Structure 1
Amino acid sequence: MFSLSLGAWETDIDYNYEYQKNGPYTKFSDWVPYKLHKWEPKYLEDFYELYNLKQHYNDNELRKNIYWLKIALGKRFRHPKHALCETKTEQEYYKYRNLMFMHINIQIMRSYMRLGSKFDKRHVYFYNLDFAHELKESFTVAESFYKEAIPYWEKAKEYADKANEVPVDLDLGTIETERYEIVTGKLDFGHIIDTHLNRLDGKKKIVSEYLAKYPEADAKALDLIDQTN
């Protein structure tokens, strides 16, 4: 008897009813305003947390990180209660802000250097000169990225000096280590960038001398192949 009544009850259930948003079967989640599900970055820390660098990255990911971090530099900070670490005094919060500015500038600088390295070559061998025209253009791009990194390094040093005025270590992990290494001179990206630019000048000289000797090689490799054919 029970099985018969259960079977009859099951036949009355409409398993395949058409879902109507404003009908009797409206889901509870649809009553929640859509805006509650959205997250919009507003503060410096929000944009900083959008920074992401995978182990294997490409140009677009580096450019995206630069974009977010540059926006972060123009935003105001969260309320101290919602900072990325605990700050108990105004002096600590002052140091926190300068450390964040320092670190963001360093990350932008690093991203520009990574972009530059993707257009640079560690060595120029004789067989690389078959692509002398491409190397000339690539080295020009690399140089522009390396030089773009310089002002962000200078800014990072300024903020490191300001943060160093407060003799308290904040719980910001390696950011405090960066500050210490910058003010003590252990970390000097100015020297590193100059080294990259000097080496790049040497490689550009090799390419320029080759193109001066063989001016017909100053064309894209594919164009040269078409000419020979």
Structure 2
Amino acid sequence: MKQNTDNLRVMNKLMASFLFLLFINHPLWAYKLTYKEQVYELYHRHLYAYPNRTWENLMYLEEALDADFANPLNALTRIETKEEWNKYQKLFDMHIHLKIVENYLILGNKFDKQKAYFYNAPYKDITLRSLDIAEKIYNFALPHWVEAVKLAKETENYPYLFLEGIQFWEDEAYRINHDELNYESIINKQINRLIRVREELNKMDSSTFPGPGENGIADPDKVGELNNLFKDWEGFIK
């Protein structure tokens, strides 16, 4: 799973670099995007402008995760001490990991299927391919959750520090450390349901559908379109 995740991150970074070149050459950007704070701001602008472009959001987040921090003077909250600076960095990366988890869940859901109906039988094979993609994407989220938990735990080393400017991140760490937020449970629930749907689909055969006078033939144009789409995604996540 780690190798798959690493491969996907490499691809994300290559695509993100291309997008950054486009943004950097725009008059709006008079300086090179170098620091986490800059990339994170770009992610936010992109999120509000194109909320459904989950894949691009993931690219920005992965790029932010790998970038360096700006000088504390340019932090997203007031920093006065080294202890505050250390906690800020942990909260920042924790938050990025959580956003990556959330976006993988959104992306996986686009290929997922909540329930298998008898009339899905003509599309059994293409639906199984879609479920395979969804499962792999859900699994990509797990390592990021593990890192988020680790970083949240480390913020407990600063029990008397509270960074008001990033209160939402502080709240996220609190919820993780008190078992109020558990994405591992959510991810596993999604995967377990997906496995049940796959089992139901695998039970289907030519007798499942159609009945008398019904058309049980899959639309070839629709299947062809999905095949092309899934082929691209299968190449990304193999």
Superposition TM-score tier, normalisation by shorter sequence: 0.7 to 0.9
Q: Please list, as runs of the form range in 1=range in 2, the aligned pairs for 1:18-97 lying within 5 A after superposition.
A: 38-51=30-43, 52-54=46-48, 57-58=51-52, 61-97=53-89
Q: Please report the TM-score for the alignment, with normalisation by the length of structure 2.
A: 0.71
**In the alignment, what sits opposite 1:170?**
163
- How far residue 224 of structure 1 moved from its aligned partner, in angstroms, is 11
Whole-Å Cα distance in 2 between the matches of residues 54 and 36 of structure 1? 17
Identity %: 32
Structure 1 stretch 97-106 or stretch 49-58: which is displaced more? 49-58
Residue 180, structure 1, aligned to residue 174, structure 2: yes
**Given the alignment of the two structures, is residue 201 of structure 1 paired with residue 207 of structure 2, yes or no?**
no
Q: Which runs of 5+ in 2 are unaligned?
A: 1-25, 209-216, 224-238
Match of 2:96 among 104, 110, 123: 104
Q: TM-score, normalised by structure 1?
A: 0.74
The higher relative CO (CA closer than 8 Å, separation ≥ 6) is in 2
Kindly indicate whether the alpha-carbon contact (under 8 Å) linking 2:114 and 2:197 is maintained by their aligned counterparts in 1.
Answer: no
Q: Is the 8 Å Cα contact of residues 122 and 218 (structure 2) preserved in structure 1?
A: no
Q: Partner residue of 1:121?
A: 113
Q: 1:77 to 1:151 in 2, by over 3 A?
A: same
Separation of aligned partners in 2, 1:75 and 1:196: 31
1:130–1:180 CA distance, 2 compared to 1 (3 A): same
How large is the Cα RMSD of the aligned pairs?
Answer: 2.6
1:129: how far off?
A: 2.6
Separation of aligned partners in 1, 2:111 and 2:222: 22
Instruction: State the structure with more CA Rg.
Output: 1
Q: Distance in 2 between matches of 1:55 and 1:40?
A: 21
Partner-residue secondary structure (3-state), 1:181: helix
Distance 1:37 1:182, change over 3 A: closer
Structure 1: unaligned runs, 5 residues or longer: 1-33
- What does residue 222 of structure 1 align with? 220
- 1:121 to 1:129, Cα distance in 2 relative to 1, 3 A: same
Secondary structure (helix, strand or coil) at the match of 1:87 reads coil
Q: SS at 2:47's partner residue?
A: coil
Q: CA deviation at 1:211?
A: 4.5
Do the aligned partners of residues 37 and 49 (structure 1) sit closer, same or farther apart at CA in structure 2, a change above 3 Å counting? Answer: closer
Equivalent position of 1:148 in the other structure: 140
